[in-house]
Amino acid sequence: MKRLVFLTGAGMSAESGISTFRDSGGLWEQYPVQQVASIEGYMADPELVINFYNERRRQLLEVKPCEGHRLVASMEKDYDVTVITQNVDNLHEKAGSTKVIHLHGELMKATSTNNPNDPRCIITLPEDNLDIKMGQKAADGSQLRPFIVWFGESVPMIEPAIAEIMKADIVVVIGTSLNVYPAAGLLGYVSSGCKIYLIDPADVRYDHSLGITHIKKGASEGMRELIAEHIPVAHE
């Protein structure tokens, strides 16, 4: 079975109604980046940052996977599929994808302020009790914080992601500007015979020597075209 790796970004979840950070009208315009998405911002005002992510978590419960998410999950019937996502939502999992690597953390989880990557401190927040509260402790006794990789923090899942990219027969990039590192560097690890497809309605800067096939459509429409014209499936 061929190995198919998806690399997804904010454009994947935008069709589900989740605000993107970088686009015009996105979340960055409402909050300075350093205030809500850096370790320095968190240490300066943990309550503001915790409440920001509490709000985003509540928003996540109100949205559903888009057709693009569902089509990605459906590819598991014909391929050995890994999803590497820059998104912190759980929409790939809700759509049925079973192997998802989250590069930037997971919104529905919380962890320790002192040891954010210690598995003993990472918990999944129940849907009926989503909010992290000031004074709520992680297993190591420090303040519970969002399980999000902020600017200035290491990206512990980048090594597993590189390992998957190196083994891929086909890589499909969906809805990412390929400007955010280290995720943007992942295409540098593809094998010489790997086919690469990019699904994004916008013009995206990339290394043209990689031979990328650019499908200039949104996530759902682009996935439909990918399946119809480029990647054969038996389950239709």
Catalytic residues: 104
Answer for the pair 219, 71: CB distance below 8 angstroms, yes or no: no
For residue 77, give every residue at least 6 positions away whose Cβ sits within 8 Å of its Cβ, in sequence order, or none: 233, 234, 235
Answer for the pair 175, 14: CB distance below 8 angstroms, yes or no: yes
Q: How far is CA 45 from CA 48, 50, 134, in A?
A: 6, 9, 11
For residue 13, give every residue at least 6 positions away whose Cβ sits within 8 Å of its Cβ, in sequence order, or none: 20, 63, 66, 69, 87, 89, 91, 175
